[in-house]
Amino acid sequence: MKKEFKDLERFNCCGIANDGESGLELIYDKKPDYIIMDLILPHLDGVSVLDELKEDKLIEDLNILVLSSFLNEKMLKILQNYQIDYFMSKPADFNCIKERIKDLKTSYSNNEFSGGYIKESNKDNIFLKINQDITDLLDKFGIPANIMGYKYLRKAIYLSIKKDELINSITKKLYPQIAKMYETEASRVERAIRHAIKVSWERGNQKLLDNYFGYSISETIGRPTNAQFIAKVADNFRLQNNLITNWINIQNCIKIIEL
């Protein structure tokens, strides 16, 4: 991440800490404008770091982006007590992180966005939970988070939940849309997603996959096609969470908190 920041105009990574205590000392020493932090940290966890910053009345002057795999409803309730500017679930693409930092710099002030999106509406919590649930499900399926198809597949499911008509135009609309987001080609998105699904069938939780997809498995290749996989997962999310109505309600929030 430090290496990536070297190419980011007007931003400089002024320090890195591998635990909460040294991170807190670094914040006091460098007085940064932006902090990217995890919640699971050695010695002093992320919430304790936030406690210290809040007690010393420094938290109002910082733009804080929490990047963590430990984001659930209970944790979100705890974090309501702090002025978090943005939340992202791991694994996260650096291009997304970069864009969110730019958003904070150009679009929001602390006064406009203090307290994070949690205070704005419960609808935002629905959005974050959906993204976390997609991540959790792909992890359970056994898809490695370090392959490109993982993030493409996660984004494809999310977009298909948001606009179910995309699943009917996966080649002409869905792949090109994802390719544009990640500055790649639609054909590479298609191949990467296909590879991710193949890996899950070869190395993942076969019993869970069979139970989840049932008859949505192609008889020719012995696993779902890209379209079958994405459609099945997206449909389950919409049905289980009544998202047909909820997505209409939260569209105004998406530009602010989209992962």
Given phi > 0 = left and psi -120 to 50 = alpha, else beta, which region is 129?
Answer: alpha
Kindly report, residue by residue over 26-43, the tens digit of the pLDDT.
999 988 888 999 988 888
Give the number of other Cβ atoms within 10 Å of residue 132's Cβ.
Answer: 19
pLDDT at residue 193, as a whole number = 96
Rounded Cα–Cα distance for residues 200 and 125 (Å): 29
Q: Where are the domains of the chain?
A: 2-119, 125-257
15-29, 37-51, 105-119, 213-227: least confident range: 105-119
CA–CA separation, 205 and 228 (whole Å): 18
What does the pLDDT look like over 127-161, one tens digit per residue? Answer: 567 777 888 899 899 998 889 999 999 999 988 88
176 phi, psi to nearest 5 deg? -60, -35
Residues 6+ apart with CB under 8 A from 202: none
Rounded to two decimals, the pTM is 0.49
Q: Which residues contact 92 (CB under 8 A, 6 or more apart)?
A: 67, 259
Any idea which residue has 């991710």 for tokens?
196
CATH superfamily of 2-119: Response regulator (3.40.50.2300)
Assigned architecture for domain 125-257: Orthogonal Bundle (1.10)
- What is the spatial distance between Cα 50 and Cα 196, in angstroms, rounded to a whole number? 37
- How far is 108 from 74, CA to CA, in rounded Å? 27
**Tens of pLDDT along 214-247?**
766 766 778 889 999 999 998 888 877 654 444 4
pLDDT of 187 over the 60 cut:
yes
